[in-house]
Amino acid sequence: MITSRRKPRRNTRRTIRHKTRRTSQTKVKNMEFVIKMLKSNKYADIRNVLFNLLLVHYGGRKAFLLESSNFTHSEHNIEEILKIISDTSLHVEKDITGLEDYPRYWVTKEKLDKVPKTDEEIGHLLGMKDPGGDFYDYRKKRLTLTINEEKTGADVTTELLKGDMKDIDNVMFSKNKADSFTTVMTQHHLPYTFVYTLEQDDGTVKRLKELKNENMDYMIEHIHEYKNDLANALLKVDNTHPIITLFHRAVSKNKKLFHHYLPLFVYIYNVFNKDENIDFDKKQSNINKKFIDLIESKYK
């Protein structure tokens, strides 16, 4: 493991060299170990982080926002990732707007003069096209841009855009951003290419409407969005949660099962679409109780 402790060493040359790694000049050379990690399947789960470290270091991005919530089910935890970054010349600073249970960290080439405090400031630092705005509301229709590395499939960045996926300014911005990342890699003789995807999201209000209307064709077509909604609503879970597995099975294969659990699915969406400051612990308890009640009623 990266964070495993080493036994104390004598004051040998090797120890002296280890100490000099802390100088900026020597740390810059250490980006080579990040490149080696990219090539190893051992670090496949954090390739998105490794790509972003290179992009920030080589000037492809001003900053990268490392979110600990993305690594709760990862082979490498947030402490190990921060340890990797500490062995580079990059600067790490805690994001002051993040949740206490899921801290976020700014990674930049130079120390930040001012830590962003608003969504608009965060978006500007991350190089987003449309920072801020109510189009971030997951309940409404919105457009998502995702940039991936072509061979590894690693998601390097995701952002929300105003307008439609056919708008020429959205298409050109997406293409230029992906191409600029590829150019950075090419300039440093790294064999990586980035591609973009634009995806229109109907929003949770629309999905709830189709759920209530029992529009099975729509739900099957958008099954991944429904599963992501449920994962976000239930918190601290992934797509293997029993309620999410149940939804997939009910929609795909068993309409009778869907009818039985429809009140639960509608209840979750109704709660999810309410105010962001909802009591999540109470919500989770209510959902679990409703789930258990429906299970018991099914087998009476």
Segment 25-39, tens digit of pLDDT: 445 456 899 999 999
Q: Looking at residue 268, what is its pLDDT?
A: 87
- Spatial contact of 62 and 111, defined as CB atoms under 8 Å apart: no
Residue for token pair 């991350």: 126
Query: Which residues are registered as beta bridge partners of 198?
Result: 145
pLDDT at 248 over 80: yes
Reading across the β-sheet that carries 194-201, which strands appear in turn? 155-161, 142-149, 194-201
The pLDDT assigned to 108 comes to: 97
| Distance (Å, whole) CA 42 – CA 149 | 17
Task: Take residue 19 and report the two structure tokens written for it.
Answer: 């100490």
Mean pLDDT confidence for 40-45: 94
pLDDT at residue number 254: 87
Mean pLDDT of the residues in the chain: 83
What is the side-by-side strand order in the sheet with 91-94?
63-67, 104-108, 91-94
The residue that leads in pLDDT, 69 or 51, is: 51
Q: What is the pLDDT of residue 196?
A: 97
User: What pLDDT is attached to residue 139?
Assistant: 87
pLDDT of residue 14: 34
Kindly tell me if the per-residue pLDDT of 269 is higher than 80: yes
In the predicted model, what is the mean pLDDT of residues 156-181?
A: 94
Spatial contact of 283 and 271, defined as CB atoms under 8 Å apart: yes
**Residue whose structure tokens are 């630092």:** 125
Which pLDDT belongs to residue 278? 46
Q: Which two tokens stand for residue 60?
A: 């492809």
Contact 196, 174 (CB under 8 A): yes
Q: Tokens in use for 124?
A: 């500007």
Query: Structural domain boundaries of the chain?
Result: 13-201, 204-298
**φ, ψ at 123 (rounded to 5°):** -60, -40
Tokens 């962003």 correspond to 116
